[in-house]
Chains A and B, each alone.
Chain A
């Protein structure tokens, strides 16, 4: 009996067949970032390092990350920033060289930082910039404060816009919406924990894509090609199923994932990463069908990375993770990236004519009619147009997402669902 079976974990890939040469680093910044990093559980990736960064040396000493970096000692004498993100930014700029050193030879960086606080909000954009300069692919997962925390919230939005300038994909995790996670009686803490677990599973899925060999294999190069450009809006979702109809159940759960139904989340993806992990019983036909359904659901453009991994320890369980990005930064000719999509489609013959359920068709039809994905279509028509400005200013706000101006009243955007802003949990 292998050790893995004695200690079942979320991801049970055996470390032996890990692809060498690529290094990933998970960086937690500030209080929320640190606790997210500590919550991650996949020590079995040898090439994934954990780095905790904070100004608060006491918080740092409690972290279990492998590497730690305290900065800004000169400014804060080892205490917190007290919500001053300009202070954190300044301090981080001074430590540039140290960070550069830490990022040397790293290909993939996951940034976990709460943007409502000073440290995360100030330092994350700086680290993202340095990581991009060092040639790494940067994915950021950023908890955002509740919208009723008005000043913190508006500060976090500023930092988010800043971070989007540098990271390849930023997945915002607004506290408002995280309350919608979990079951009906889940407490706020349980909801946050659930959201943390999903992030952890997402990161681990991306890591397994990069580091393990799979049934339908894609590697870091594919990922890099799909997400090479800076993205405006992103989507991130996770679903899991078990039993006989595991794969369908996983798709259902994925489509209901609260993180896909946030005002800030894009409804369509120009670049889409679909990762399916299942047990040995996972059938090829089901995989094809699911992938084409998911691609239709997110109206995936040409940059699709589809990976499927078989993990014998999964039993009958199936996990699906999607990460998508829209409003990709223009500038890189499409031709450079096209082979990716071709290759992926080659792996999935006939996927275009694969049977889709009646619902999926209905959904697609009605969705296309009623949810005008105007900015995205515009983007497609005019690929060379620099979309930089609108990707900063504009957010997807549900059905009002295509409108140019926000509907601000007393500091709140009235187009964002009231139940999200008021923290009312809706259990469905």
Chain B
């Protein structure tokens, strides 16, 4: 029997809902997809609950209609500058007398790692496991191997209680359950960077409307993630102020004529703001548009480079830098990223087999949610279901959603 799963991303410019059908052989088929402009959100955080909820609900409704089915639980993407990542580590000595590693040893190490409670008013959003070390060596699955000590780490992201609760309530208001919270950057990297790239080491930068999410992978595991509260909306805002045009015109100029690096061909060329040359329409040099965008985008990558200081090692980043998200469509961003971060950056492409209508950079996160949800992220030797129930049960208790479970 096939299984229906859903994914929701409450994005700053659009709320997106996706419904997928998992066939018995494990292959995923997207059967419903809808997106709605979201006016209830700024810079990745909900500022108007009702508007955000309305956008999400109508996106879900449309996606359900399109698929002809209903979903009971969804994966929900989380972003926002309130999220902070930490590396948590735990270790355990191998208990059995024959020095064979047992699942219980791994569990003890995991418990120790997760023992640290987040600060008051904060909740863990996502624990991403990093490599398991058996006596200092990286191993994929130590169960059954000989050794004396296992170490494992979690890149753990915690966030503001209120912000997370709000996002969860948007979904629970639609009588849906959140199966799991997934960090937006991890969701989009799952989609855009295949296992080979993740093993080679790669940095995925998802440039959204409100925020820019990034995730750095080393040896196939997450080494660092982060959120920078600057996105495409900032470019629009800068244009609106710098060119002294209203925001909708600034948005239009950005989409139609926006470039992040100057083009000698544009020298001396002007574009019209409204385009119909009515009274009040005025022409603007292309160079002015490019200048405004360039400064903002360059600054964004400078901040990224500061955030990742010391983490970008040529030997560990053979996969280069991948750019995705709606704002990555601006021509020239990859050149600026390469120049400032010092590694080749390119626009990420979707793996083959994704419908061309869906394969847009702005859909990377929501598509990634489904794919991440399908993958097994538990500890080796444990069944997937068990792990998830455990994590979510604990999470529900933390955020006060215990009633349903």
Q: For residues 314 through 370 of chain B, which have their beta carbon under 8 Å from a beta carbon of chain A? A: none
B288 at the interface (CB under 8 A from A): yes
Please measure, in the bound complex, the distance between the C-alpha atom of A286 and the C-alpha atom of B164, giving whole angstroms: 55
| Contact of A366 with B243 at beta-carbon distance under 8 Å, contacts A359-B280, A399-B237, A427-B285 already known | no
Q: Is the CB of A360 within 8 A of B292?
A: no
A220 at the interface (CB under 8 A from B): no
Q: Is the CB of A255 within 8 A of B247?
A: no
Q: For residues 338 through 366 of chain A, which have their beta carbon under 8 Å from a beta carbon of chain B? A: 357-360, 363, 366
Q: Is the CB of A417 within 8 A of B237?
A: yes
| Contact of A256 with B244 at beta-carbon distance under 8 Å, contacts A358-B278, A403-B47, A414-B229 already known | yes
Q: Is the CB of B43 within 8 A of A403?
A: yes
Q: Is the CB of A357 within 8 A of B280?
A: yes
A409 at the interface (CB under 8 A from B): yes
A388 at the interface (CB under 8 A from B): no
| Contact of A417 with B296 at beta-carbon distance under 8 Å, contacts A400-B237, A409-B303 already known | yes
* Interface-located stretch among A34-42, A122-130, A418-426: A418-426
Contact with B along A369-392 (1 / 0, CB 8 A): 011000000000000000000000
Partner of A414, one of B42, B230, B236, B248: B230
Q: Is the CB of B246 within 8 A of A366?
A: yes
In this complex, how many residues of chain B approach chain A with their Cβ under 8 Å: the count is 37
Partner of B296, one of A367, A370, A371, A419: A419
A189 at the interface (CB under 8 A from B): no
Partner of A358, one of B228, B243, B279: B279
Q: For residues 229 through 269 of chain A, which have their beta carbon under 8 Å from a beta carbon of chain B? A: 255-256, 258, 260-263
- Shortest distance in angstroms between A400's beta carbon and chain B's nearest beta carbon? 6
List of A residues within 8 angstroms of B274 by Cβ: 359
Per DSSP, are chain B's interface residues mostly helix, strand or loop, or mixed? helix
Q: For residues 243 through 261 of chain B, which have their beta carbon under 8 Å from a beta carbon of chain A? A: 243-244, 246-248
Please measure, in the bound complex, the distance between the C-alpha atom of A407 and the C-alpha atom of B212, giving whole angstroms: 14
Q: For residues 272 through 315 of chain B, which have their beta carbon under 8 Å from a beta carbon of chain A? A: 274, 278-281, 284-285, 287-288, 291-292, 295-296, 298-299, 303, 306
- Shortest distance in angstroms between B288's beta carbon and chain A's nearest beta carbon? 5
A301 at the interface (CB under 8 A from B): no
| Contact of A261 with B229 at beta-carbon distance under 8 Å, contacts A366-B248, A403-B42, A415-B234 already known | no
B233 at the interface (CB under 8 A from A): yes
- Shortest distance in angstroms between A96's beta carbon and chain B's nearest beta carbon? 41
Please measure, in the bound complex, the distance between the C-alpha atom of A407 and the C-alpha atom of B298, giving whole angstroms: 18
| Contact of A428 with B279 at beta-carbon distance under 8 Å, contacts A400-B237, A414-B229 already known | no
List of A residues within 8 angstroms of B279 by Cβ: 357-359
Minimal Cβ-Cβ distance residue in A for B251: A370
Minimal Cβ-Cβ distance residue in B for A426: B242
Q: Is the CB of A415 within 8 A of B237?
A: yes
Please measure, in the bound complex, the distance between the C-alpha atom of A263 and the C-alpha atom of B303, giving whole angstroms: 21
Among A261, A399, A427, A428, chain B packs the most CB atoms within 10 A around the CB of A428
Q: Is the CB of B248 within 8 A of A419?
A: no
Partner of B242, one of A255, A409, A419: A419
List of A residues within 8 angstroms of B81 by Cβ: 407
B240 at the interface (CB under 8 A from A): yes
Q: Is the CB of B42 within 8 A of A426?
A: no
Please measure, in the bound complex, the distance between the C-alpha atom of A422 and the C-alpha atom of B297, giving whole angstroms: 12
| Contact of A417 with B246 at beta-carbon distance under 8 Å, contacts A400-B42, A407-B43 already known | no
Q: Is the CB of A419 within 8 A of B246?
A: no
- Shortest distance in angstroms between B384's beta carbon and chain A's nearest beta carbon? 39
List of A residues within 8 angstroms of B43 by Cβ: 400, 403, 407
- Shortest distance in angstroms between A356's beta carbon and chain B's nearest beta carbon? 11
- Shortest distance in angstroms between B119's beta carbon and chain A's nearest beta carbon? 18
Please measure, in the bound complex, the distance between the C-alpha atom of A417 and the C-alpha atom of B297, giving whole angstroms: 11
- Shortest distance in angstroms between A259's beta carbon and chain B's nearest beta carbon? 11
B241 at the interface (CB under 8 A from A): yes
Q: Is the CB of B280 within 8 A of A426?
A: no
Q: Is the CB of B238 within 8 A of A417?
A: yes
Q: Is the CB of B284 within 8 A of A371?
A: no
Q: Is the CB of A428 within 8 A of B241?
A: no
List of A residues within 8 angstroms of B228 by Cβ: 409
Q: Is the CB of B288 within 8 A of A414?
A: no
List of B residues within 8 angstroms of A260 by Cβ: 244
Q: Is the CB of B246 within 8 A of A363?
A: yes
A214 at the interface (CB under 8 A from B): no
Please measure, in the bound complex, the distance between the C-alpha atom of A403 and the C-alpha atom of B47, giving whole angstroms: 8
List of B residues within 8 angstroms of A417 by Cβ: 234, 237-238, 241-242, 292, 296
Please measure, in the bound complex, the distance between the C-alpha atom of A410 and the C-alpha atom of B229, giving whole angstroms: 13
Q: Is the CB of A424 within 8 A of B295?
A: yes
Q: Is the CB of B280 within 8 A of A360?
A: yes
A279 at the interface (CB under 8 A from B): no
Please measure, in the bound complex, the distance between the C-alpha atom of A125 and the C-alpha atom of B310, giving whole angstroms: 46
List of B residues within 8 angstroms of A359 by Cβ: 274, 278-281
Q: Is the CB of B299 within 8 A of A422?
A: yes
Supply 30 A–B pairs (Cβ within 8 Å), ascending by A: A261-B241, A357-B280, A358-B278, A358-B280, A359-B279, A366-B246, A367-B246, A370-B246, A371-B246, A398-B240, A399-B233, A399-B236, A399-B240, A400-B233, A400-B234, A407-B229, A407-B230, A409-B229, A414-B303, A417-B296, A418-B234, A418-B295, A419-B242, A419-B295, A424-B291, A427-B285, A427-B287, A428-B243, A428-B244, A428-B284
Top 7 A-B residue pairs of the complex, sorted by shortest distance between their CB atoms: A359-B280, A417-B238, A399-B237, A418-B296, A418-B295, A419-B295, A398-B237
Interface residues of A (CB under 8 A from B): 180, 255-256, 258, 260-263, 357-360, 363, 366-367, 370-371, 398-400, 403, 407, 409-410, 414-415, 417-420, 422, 424, 426-428
Other contacts beyond A367-B246, A407-B230, A428-B288: 12, CB < 8 A: A180-B242, A262-B241, A358-B279, A359-B280, A366-B246, A366-B248, A367-B247, A398-B238, A407-B229, A409-B303, A418-B296, A426-B292
